[in-house]
Structure 1
Amino acid sequence: MKEIRPGRFLRFAGVALLALGFAANAAAQGHVHPHGSAKPAKPELGTSAAFAPDGSLYAVSKGGQHVLLYRSTDEGATWSEPATVNAAPEAISADGDNRPKLAFARDGGVLVSWTRPLAKPYTGEIRFARSDDGRQFGEPTTVHRDRREITHRFETLAVTGSGQVLVAWIDKRDLETAQADEREYRGAAVYAALSDDGGRTFRPEVKVADHSCECCRIAIANDTDGLPLVLWRHVFEPNERDHALAKIGPDGAAGEVTRATFDRWRIDACPHHGPSLAVAPEGTRHAVWFNEKDGEARVFYGRLAGGRVEGQRAIGGDRAAHADIGASGSRIAIVWKEFDGERTRLRGELSDDGGRHFRAIELASTAGASDQPRVLRRGDELFAFWRTGMEGMKGYELK
């Protein structure tokens, strides 16, 4: 199996494929690889950020064998000395699609999740810690009851409209069982666990769906009823890597799994390039994702409309990568990074009319390595957050 990178693709032997000419910007673009088989590029810059109820900006990242929590009161211009999330050192994943995550409980508690790699290659555990004050964290716990040395990785953390805490991740327990029984099984699975007490304890995990892609981030956004929608790259028969959507009920059970995108990318590999989802107040589901369509691999934007995609179009150029999306009222923001041959640029598009029209914006650039950008919301305001190896962690108001 060959490595795949965003860019110009060719087709051969019925299998979609191979990006050309990207060795020079491998670190800037990030790795895309078959079945999660390549280790993340160094330095590991995977960072998550979120605005706290008091309006300050928090960020979590890896520092050696610790997860570190930073706080900024000036929208990312300067940062406090970090608090240590896990007192006892342990292995931590911190690449773009598998980085520490951050959220805030309804009672103000700071919630942090991450993947702890285990000794066997491509295995891991989903770890979680809570702080009441943002400085002292309780002892980390493992979210799932299944403790086999298998894949539990690529977790996503969210707080639902009712205040429940949801963690979802990629899990290979069903693949392991199928292989032991000599049965065929495509991809991995998505599992999730809910907490009813602000992250102090979790219910037993529940399977959301079989046949997810093996190493793409999962997107979670609350629907208009407050229940979380989970969007992930799925392996549809015979081997189409499109996206699927499901809603998680207050009991933790997943509703019907529906197909969300229809690009029909046939490839036996994982692009390590997950989607992003934002739900507008009137219920429109705005999404960005990476796929191959009509022989060309691009980042796309579209509105997911129950069995079809409305307004689908390519975002940025043929080297655009790792887009994120956010919504505030009728304002929609998309950000992504894009290598221009010399520098990696943070670019974006803004809509003031619910996604009918967008205007382009240029935000920043770097000559070195960079993480994936994020869209953050503070009240009615939208921000971009981007960490680079040379410039550090920065916030950019989107207006």
Structure 2
Amino acid sequence: MTGMRPGFRLIVAGLLACTALAGTAQTHGNHSGHGGQAKAAKMSELGTGAAFDRDGKLWIAYKDGPYVAVRSSTDFGRSFGPGQHVNSAPEAVAADHDSRPKVATGRDGEIFITWTQPRPKPWTGFIRFARSTDGGKSFAEPLTVHANRDEITHRFDAIAVDRSGRIFVSWIDKRDVIAAEARKQPYAGAAIYYAVSADHGKSFQGDYKIADQSCECCRIAMSPTPDGNMLALWRHVFPPNARDHALAQLGADGTATPLQRATFDDWRIDACPHQGPGASVAPDGTLHMVWFNLREGKPTVSVGRWKDGKLQAQRPLDDPRAQHADIVALDNNEIAVAWKSFDGQQTRLSAMLSHDGGKTWQTRQVARTERDSDQPHVLQHAGRAYVLWRTEAEGFQVFPLGKEGA
């Protein structure tokens, strides 16, 4: 939160769901900081999304008061052009860490932006989408992605574009919770839904359910696969209440494969850590992922790979204070992971790199700050990894990773 340094804190049993963030002194209650919603603590609003377009221009999206703004860089983040508003009419915008504006880019130079619009009722929201088909010169009027317009939770959006140019948007949804309550039946967590656009974002088809019983406040990770599908990874609530992760392949026709359990730490707690997973599918089809859990009684961020239907080579990051990690798999068998951690005085940005598909790793320190900061976001362009880190004091920073990286 603004004015407080983010520090490392164990999440303990008995916390109410979605009111604590394990691994940080910032309280990221998903119900706070939004207009008309519960006021727990002032929320940091540094949440920023980023993506490279086909020509190597870097686009970032962030909150600017009642607007989503974008800026671009043609020199890999060393400098950015002026900000431009995406929505012409002001509206509420969520920009707190796992719930932040997102960017994806299309094959023909399109820029796609999503964000969560908090609604007046507590803990509710709509998933909003805007697109530019002229290289970011202008944006069409935003639309709401989902057909369901009940004032309920539609939040924590994720966006990705498949190899055919179709746009997938997923989100956490509580319509099934409401229905279960009306039937006086129990329902753990929330659900994961998605929608698909096959016309470059002009319209969406969907409200396709991926799974019931997801965690309520952790971001969803999506990654296109080499065979043209889309993979989703999310924190799930496995019976009786294990907060592990699940994955599924999403079809453009609304058919998702049955979920598979992807992590097996068996963390049992009736709370949400506000730390969603990161996922990136390599050219050989291997899913590389990074995630936070309580493992053997200790808060741990792990990296691992999923192949042939099972989790392989799970190991902790080289930092016991790691939090909010992200990951990318490159074409040259290189994997890059970045995270932040608080050492009692400063927040540090660190990275681990593998040049052999995740078999061995090297760790390096990248940057540090004494003020508040967003989560790091790992990006790729032309076979190289970069990490975007927005801090309160230093602003938007981009660091190259890899053999020649900083």
After superposition, where does 1:69-108 map in structure 2 within 5 Å? Answer: 69-108=70-109
What is the one-letter code of the residue matched to 1:339?
Answer: F
Q: Deviations over 1:91-142 (max 9, x none)?
A: 0000110000101122211100000000001000000001112021111000
1:87 is displaced (CA, Å) by 0.4
- Distance in 2 (CA, whole Å) between partners of 1:202 and 1:19 is 33
- Distance in 1 (CA, whole Å) between partners of 2:304 and 2:341 is 19
Structure 1: stretches of 5+ with no match in the other structure:
none
- Secondary structure of the structure 2 residue equivalent to 1:69: strand
1:42 is displaced (CA, Å) by 3.8
- Secondary structure of the structure 1 residue equivalent to 2:205: coil
The answer (yes or no) to whether the contact 1:53–1:108 under 8 Å persists in 2 is yes
- Distance in 2 (CA, whole Å) between partners of 1:167 and 1:277 is 15
1:317 is displaced (CA, Å) by 2.6
| 1:362 is the counterpart of 2:365 | yes
Moved over 3 A (4+): 5-13, 30-33, 36-43, 305-308
Structure 1 residue corresponding to 2:345, chosen from 342, 356, 361 = 342
- Distance in 1 (CA, whole Å) between partners of 2:27 and 2:244 is 19
Structure 2 residue corresponding to 1:391, chosen from 384, 394, 400 = 394
The answer (yes or no) to whether the contact 1:260–1:306 under 8 Å persists in 2 is no
| 1:301 is the counterpart of 2:297 | no
1:12 is displaced (CA, Å) by 8.9
- Distance in 2 (CA, whole Å) between partners of 1:109 and 1:281 is 24
Q: Deviations over 1:341-387 (max 9, x none)?
A: 10000000011111111101111100000000011011111111110
Match in the other structure for 1:251: 253
Q: Percent identity?
A: 48
After superposition, where does 1:162-177 map in structure 2 within 5 Å? Answer: 162-177=164-179
Match in the other structure for 1:321: 323
Give TM-score, length-normalised by structure 1. 0.92
1:250 is displaced (CA, Å) by 2.5
Q: Deviations over 1:38-77 (max 9, x none)?
A: 4475440000111111111110000000000101111111
| 1:147 is the counterpart of 2:143 | no
1:306 is displaced (CA, Å) by 5.0
- Secondary structure of the structure 1 residue equivalent to 2:263: coil
- Distance in 1 (CA, whole Å) between partners of 2:31 and 2:138 is 36
- Comparing 247-256 with 186-195, greater Cα deviation is found at 247-256
What is the aligned-residue RMSD (CA, Å)?
2.0
- Secondary structure of the structure 2 residue equivalent to 1:265: coil
1:309 is displaced (CA, Å) by 2.0
What is the one-letter code of the residue matched to 1:53?
Answer: R
- Distance in 1 (CA, whole Å) between partners of 2:306 and 2:230 is 15
After superposition, where does 1:158-197 map in structure 2 within 5 Å? Answer: 158-197=160-199
Aligned length: 384
| 1:31 is the counterpart of 2:34 | no
Match in the other structure for 1:376: 379
- Distance in 1 (CA, whole Å) between partners of 2:296 and 2:82 is 49
1:37 is displaced (CA, Å) by 3.8
The answer (yes or no) to whether the contact 1:158–1:165 under 8 Å persists in 2 is yes
Give TM-score, length-normalised by structure 2. 0.91
What is the one-letter code of the residue matched to 2:240?
Answer: P
- Distance in 2 (CA, whole Å) between partners of 1:115 and 1:213 is 17
What is the one-letter code of the residue matched to 2:122?
Answer: P
